[in-house]
Chains A and B, each alone.
Chain A
Amino acid sequence: MITLSINGKSHQFNDDGDMPLLWALRDVLKYTGTKYGCGKGLCGACTVHVDGQPIRSCVTPVSAIGKQKVTTIEGLSEHADHPVQQAWQSLNVPQCGYCQSGQIMSAVALLERNSAPNDKDIELAMSGNICRCGTYQRIKQAIHLAADLATEVKGS
């Protein structure tokens, strides 16, 4: 048995430790906000944070998580008020929305380590996240907006 810490809650996991975290989250623990897009680490739809680092949950077995803390899109904020989530809503970033959990988790991780990224930083950090609907331009604008707002929050 494995004890998993997801969004600050601990869960007992009794299945195969080889199971990718993605399917453990979705099918076993019912955190369906994290999405499947390729299963091969190629698209970023399944991005979650493990101890604050963005990882591809589709290629990370549950057994590799250990005591590290997992954060999914559901655990980002209680009231949809993370600056990144708000910037996403204000700029109407999503089209179908399916890739956006992964995009948001990648963007949050970027801003955690670089609070004022330039366009190149953003391109680099987001290059593993595919959006087939083509929302890249708005994602870039939203990351800048979130960074600006976070500054203002700090300053105010």
Chain B
Amino acid sequence: MKHIKNVSRRSFLKKLGISSTALVLGVQLPSMLTIPKALAGVTGPDKFSPNVYVQIGADNIVSIVVHRSEMGQGIRTSIPMIVADELGADWQQIDIIQGLGDKKYGSQNTDGSRSVRRFYQPLREAGASARMMLQQAAAEKWQVDVSETRADNNFIIHDKSGQKLSFGSLVKAASALTVPEASTLILKPSKDFKFIGKSDVALVDGKKIATGATTFGFDVELDNMRYAVIARPPVLAAKVKSFDEKAAKAVSGVIDVVQMPELEEPAVFKPLGGVAVIATNTWAAIKGREALNIQWHESEHQNYTSETYKQALAKSCDNPAKALRSKGDTSKALAEAKKVIKASYYVPELIHVPMEPPAATAHYHDGIFDIWACTQTPQSSQGTVAQITGVAAENININVTLLGGGFGRKSKPDFVAEAAILAKQLNVPVKVLWTREDEIQNGYYHAVSYQKLTAGIDNNGRISAWQHHVAEPPIGATFSKGADLIGSEADLGLIDMPFEIANVSCAAGKAPAHTRIGWMRSVTNINHAFATGSFVDELAHAKGVDSKEHLISLIGADRKIDFAEENAKYGNYGETLEKFPVDTARMKAVINKASKMADWGRKLPKGHGLGIAMHRSFVSYVACVVEVSEDSDGKIKVHDVWMAVDCGLAVNLERIRSQMEGAAIFALSLTFYSELTAKNGVIEQNNFDGYQVARFADAPMTHVEIIKSDAAPGGVGEPGVPPIAPAICNAIFDATGKRYRELPLKQYNIV
């Protein structure tokens, strides 16, 4: 019998055929709690720090600041790859420093799939300027022309003379030089990349994760620290009427009960209010909270009930209040069409459920806040705490821990502010922990949506009109009370529908919000792509043509689309159309690639079906083909997902693949299982039994191919999600002839 026993790392790698000198980061990372404040930007006699991202020590260690939050996307590996490559650093001598919240790094708001997209260039420049200064220092020592030198493995090398000097030995001389102007920087040609675009870089936190040695927001421990859980209003903006402080305090371990400031809408990132129970451990705090017996006042949102709200949304679609894109004359084209096809789609309210719920620890001392939090956005955490507590932002240190998943939840710092309020009031370090129930019932929600699509087919069998009406409560309501019309959500898969159709109209109906509406991984691309990707497949079937060929032909000629020509204000994820065009050739290329991977058109086993969809979001392009089967009980199984992604220049291939694998599962969850419903203003689900997500046996095999490209790097964390749900539903239709237009599919008893 085999026996599981420990085996040395070296012999393990040998057995795998990996040499132990492969790119496995061997250095010890500093513990979260010992991160020196404001390390970057400090230059001393034995430290050389030409910019805020890089520091080189006389000991030859290259410290690289990761200023973005790690939540599973691999940024703590990818940023060092970019900087180290340009610098010519030795991967074994890198130290990774998690940056505190600080404006000097530029935006640290880790959402919108933009860490590499926005920082690829600045990070390369940071590496290049350090490298050029080291080259300059060496050239002066050797009295040679700087152009004859190069950097590799923490050395500056002069090939002609065979001389080389370590980075560490050049620190003093390099520190005395002026930092070169951005315009004079010479970046490495891409053919010389050592890390960028390579697959074999191990995760820098991999070992710590495998041994349980990481520090997440939940794991922060300070001396004399208290644990707090908070009873928050079950209905948004309900105020506390009464509670039993004595009963809570009678629970062993409970130290204090504190009423939180009441929420005045708009909610923004303010704490929700309620009553906090502070204890010597989390369990006592939870027990104490149960004993509070809180009574709440009525709230204006208590009539929010999903069933009736859905009907209101459907009606609102018929009466749009805002035109978002109009090309040609859609009404006329529909009136003249030979055939008109209509379909409605519904996606319920959703929530992030990162495996780690929100948590933050605050310590207030000497007029200073030291805060540790699993936040996606340390700067806005800092700003929110400053605003709410009155402490100046420069006296608020936000340490970013690892995030046990984020998906957008942790870019709202309400939980950080809660910890700050309590720590200041009680004058002890306080860790605020959200239970799963809190996370599900008091979240920032992905908006419920209803969509009505109508298309006309003309006498020549061409799609002559496309009309897309949506109603969904806007994110804007979280920031401006009463807002009831979507804004930039329309840019996410609604108005940027890329099909070459002569008459197009997109419009939104009103939808008031009764919960805090937020953004969740890929945001409204989820529902818009579900509707668009499903409807286009319905049109293919109506026309009796192959789904993939139809998709390609509807995208039409190679061109770069400017939606402004069709009366649409398109934000393009904050990027210019010059740098990141809406390129139909790239759309077709990913479709062709994914089809090829899946061997589209092959003869399928009985009960099997293939579905396809493509979506551009966060300026990247993803197409996927899904294979499903229906068993004799009518249950659906997703077998394989083939994804082709064009995200421009690909920095960390391995993490791009893992993000696509993860996106497939994230989307599978919402396609089959996840749904929130509200009754009288209260979210009815509260844990993973009511709010379900995909589990092990649901997982398909996901195959990923990354298109080789020199285009500017686009987003990766989110673009994999949107095309999956429509591809699954299209595959189910192919397998069963049944078209499902409302998510999640568990309501149809097919899982």
Question: Which of B210, B281, B666 counts the most A-chain CB atoms under 10 A from its CB?
Answer: B210
Chain A residue with Cβ nearest B208: A97
Contact A115 B3 (CB under 8 A): yes
A82–B12 CA distance with the chains assembled, in angstroms: 10
Chain B residue with Cβ nearest A20: B283
Contact of B281 among A15, A72, A90, A111 (CB under 8 A): A15
A30–B253 CA distance with the chains assembled, in angstroms: 17
Chain B residue with Cβ nearest A102: B355
Is B211 on the interface with A (CB-CB < 8 A)?
yes
Q: A23-B282, A150-B4 are in contact. Are A33 and B402 (CB under 8 A)?
A: no
Docked complex: B416-459 residues within 8 A CB-CB of A: 433, 435-436
Is A70 on the interface with B (CB-CB < 8 A)?
no
Chain B residue with Cβ nearest A38: B436
A100–B658 CA distance with the chains assembled, in angstroms: 15
Q: A74-B211, A80-B9, A95-B658 are in contact. Are A90 and B221 (CB under 8 A)?
A: no
Q: Number of A interface residues at 8 Å Cβ cutoff, please give it.
A: 80
Contact A108 B4 (CB under 8 A): yes
B409 to chain A, nearest CB (A): 11
A144–B662 CA distance with the chains assembled, in angstroms: 20
Contact B435 A122 (CB under 8 A): no
A79–B697 CA distance with the chains assembled, in angstroms: 32
B184 to chain A, nearest CB (A): 38
Residues of A within 8 A of B13 (CB): 90
B441 to chain A, nearest CB (A): 13
Residues of B within 8 A of A134 (CB): 661-666, 694, 699
Residues of A within 8 A of B689 (CB): 40, 42
Contact A152 B15 (CB under 8 A): yes
Chain A 96-116 against B: per-residue CB contact (8 Å), 1 yes, 0 no? 111111001000100110011
Is A6 on the interface with B (CB-CB < 8 A)?
no
Contact B403 A33 (CB under 8 A): no
Chain B residue with Cβ nearest A125: B696
A136–B666 CA distance with the chains assembled, in angstroms: 11
Please report the number of residue pairs spanning A and B whose Cβ atoms sit closer than 8 angstroms: 243
Docked complex: B1-60 residues within 8 A CB-CB of A: 1-9, 11-13, 15-16, 18, 24
A94–B74 CA distance with the chains assembled, in angstroms: 9
Contact of B203 among A26, A30, A92, A130 (CB under 8 A): A92
Chain A residue with Cβ nearest B200: A92
B418 to chain A, nearest CB (A): 18
Question: Which of B1, B252, B687, B702 counts the most A-chain CB atoms under 10 A from its CB?
Answer: B687
Q: A30-B221, A73-B211, A138-B658 are in contact. Are A126 and B202 (CB under 8 A)?
A: no
Contact of A89 among B206, B283, B662, B702 (CB under 8 A): B206
Is B392 on the interface with A (CB-CB < 8 A)?
no
A32–B220 CA distance with the chains assembled, in angstroms: 9
Is B369 on the interface with A (CB-CB < 8 A)?
no
Q: A33-B211, A40-B689, A98-B356 are in contact. Are A133 and B405 (CB under 8 A)?
A: yes
Contact A82 B661 (CB under 8 A): no
Q: A86-B12, A96-B72 are in contact. Are A42 and B688 (CB under 8 A)?
A: yes
Q: List 21 A-B contacts (CB under 8 A).
A: A15-B281, A27-B281, A34-B212, A35-B356, A36-B282, A42-B689, A76-B211, A82-B4, A85-B211, A89-B206, A89-B207, A96-B70, A97-B404, A136-B665, A137-B700, A140-B699, A149-B7, A149-B15, A149-B16, A151-B2, A153-B11
Give me the 5 closest cross-chain CB pairs, A-B, nearest first.
Answer: A33-B212, A134-B665, A98-B404, A95-B72, A96-B72
